[in-house]
Amino acid sequence: MAEDNNNLTPDIESDSDDQIFSGAEGNRENSKVRADIAEFEEFDDSKIKAAGSSEKLTFLKDLQLNVYIELGRTQMQIKEVLELERGYVIELDKLASEPVDIYVNNKKIAEGEVVVIDKHFGIRITNLNEANNRLKGAV
């Protein structure tokens, strides 16, 4: 039996799958812990393999994701940010005719153009990334 206080060493005391572990914890050097081998049912994945790819993802359909649209970017000094007032215009690095980027959970999935629906802004998708790139989160 090992002398190390942090190790449990098996002492096989029977012919069954049960093992007795003895461990030294403080004054309980001779304490014994019974451990049994875990038994699990066979996993039947035939239903998963038979299901179509859309059925595999059905349980994810009600998962909420963060979607945001990036119109453009700029860099400003702290001094400029502190001087911002109502009516101030911040110039972005994109031209008005350029597509905006559409991100889902911080991964670019598409590009689009800004549209106005009634009195609300919207985005018309003009270009989608390849499906396998969208899953990987590639740009």
Domain annotation covers residue 44: no
CATH number for position 59: 2.30.330.10
Q: Does residue 71 surpass a pLDDT of 50?
A: yes
Characterize 74-103 residue by residue with b for buried, 16 or more Cβ atoms within 10 angstroms of its Cβ, and e for exposed.
eeeeeeeeeeeeeeeeeeeeeeeeebbbbb
Domain annotation covers residue 105: yes
Name the more confident of 89 and 38.
89
If asked whether residues 23 and 68 sit together in one domain, one would say no
If asked whether residues 74 and 121 sit together in one domain, one would say yes
If asked whether residues 82 and 116 sit together in one domain, one would say yes
Q: What is the pLDDT of residues 44-63, one digit of tens each?
A: 666 555 555 566 678 788 88
If asked whether residues 85 and 23 sit together in one domain, one would say no
In this structure, what token pair is assigned to residue 109?
Answer: 């999935």
If asked whether residues 25 and 72 sit together in one domain, one would say no
If asked whether residues 25 and 78 sit together in one domain, one would say no
Q: What is the pTM of this model?
A: 0.52
Confidence of residue 2 (pLDDT cuts 50, 70, 90): very low
Q: Does residue 76 surpass a pLDDT of 60?
A: yes
**Cα separation, 76 vs 81, whole angstroms:** 7
If asked whether residues 31 and 83 sit together in one domain, one would say no
Give me the domain span that covers residue 129: 53-136
